[in-house]
């Protein structure tokens, strides 16, 4: 999220709840979203405890809003297409709940990448970036030297975590800058 696909969590979700992001952070349950991202609670459990004061969330309306906002970031769809055509193996590594399937249903990123590493299931289940265990799951699963893995993320702390685990890391600053960094590393596509 926010490297390939726009993440509505930071701007649109607070608007949906008619509050600022700061107000949303102050009023949401302190662990519910992370538990949902890690696959530890169901969607229904999230909706029942999303807010610390116990008010219920209209999950259908929230998901509809989220889906309406999902879109490829500028330049990413053609870049992913060129990378895949160049023979590179592309994998998502995301701190995201089962709602990643909503993104898949709308945008079909699986035509370019595999949803291999998502915090709610699979080899990364229960681990979130920047925890070392998330990157170790990636290394174990891909069975290649960590230095052969290029990790791209929009959050500096996640890139630092990847580099600390031995991966090559790139801080995402747009498709054009990413392409330049990949070419600088010798990728041909």
Q: Does domain 76-184 have CATH number 3.40.50.1000?
A: yes
Q: What is the pLDDT of residue 81?
A: 97
CB atoms under 10 Å from CB of 81, counted, come to 13
Q: What is the pLDDT of residue 26?
A: 96
Domain ranges of the chain: 12-69, 76-184
For the chain, the residue count is 189
Express each pLDDT in 125-168 by its tens digit: 999 999 999 999 999 999 999 999 999 999 999 999 999 999 99
DSSP state of 5: B
- Cβ-defined contacts of 108-117 (< 8 Å, 24+): 109/4, 109/5, 109/72, 109/80, 111/84, 112/77, 112/80, 112/81, 112/83, 112/84, 113/4, 113/80, 113/84, 114/89, 114/90, 115/91, 116/91, 116/92, 116/141, 117/91, 117/92, 117/93, 117/141
Q: What is the pLDDT of residue 188?
A: 87
Question: Dihedrals φ, ψ of 98, to 5°?
Answer: -60, -10
Spans of the chain below 50 pLDDT:
none
């Amino acid at each position: 999220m926010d490297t390939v696909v726009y993440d509505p969590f930071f701007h649109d979700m607070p608007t949906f709840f008619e509050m600022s992001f700061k107000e949303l952070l102050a009023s949401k349950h302190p662990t519910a979203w992370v538990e949902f991202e890690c696959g530890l609670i169901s969607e229904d459990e999230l909706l029942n405890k999303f807010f610390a004061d116990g008010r219920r969330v209209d999950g259908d309306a929230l998901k509809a809003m989220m889906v309406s906002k999902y879109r490829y970031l500028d330049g990413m769809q053609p870049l992913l297409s060129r990378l895949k055509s160049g023979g590179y193996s592309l994998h998502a590594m995301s701190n995201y709940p089962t709602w990643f399937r909503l993104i898949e249903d709308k945008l079909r990123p699986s035509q370019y990448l595999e949803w291999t590493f998502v915090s709610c299931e699979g080899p990364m289940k229960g681990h979130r970036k920047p925890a070392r265990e998330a990157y170790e799951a990636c290394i174990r699963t891909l069975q290649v030297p960590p230095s052969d893995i290029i990790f791209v993320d929009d959050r500096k702390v996640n890139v630092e975590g990847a580099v600390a685990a031995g991966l090559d890391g790139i801080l995402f600053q747009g498709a054009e800058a990413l392409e330049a960094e990949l070419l600088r590393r010798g990728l041909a596509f």
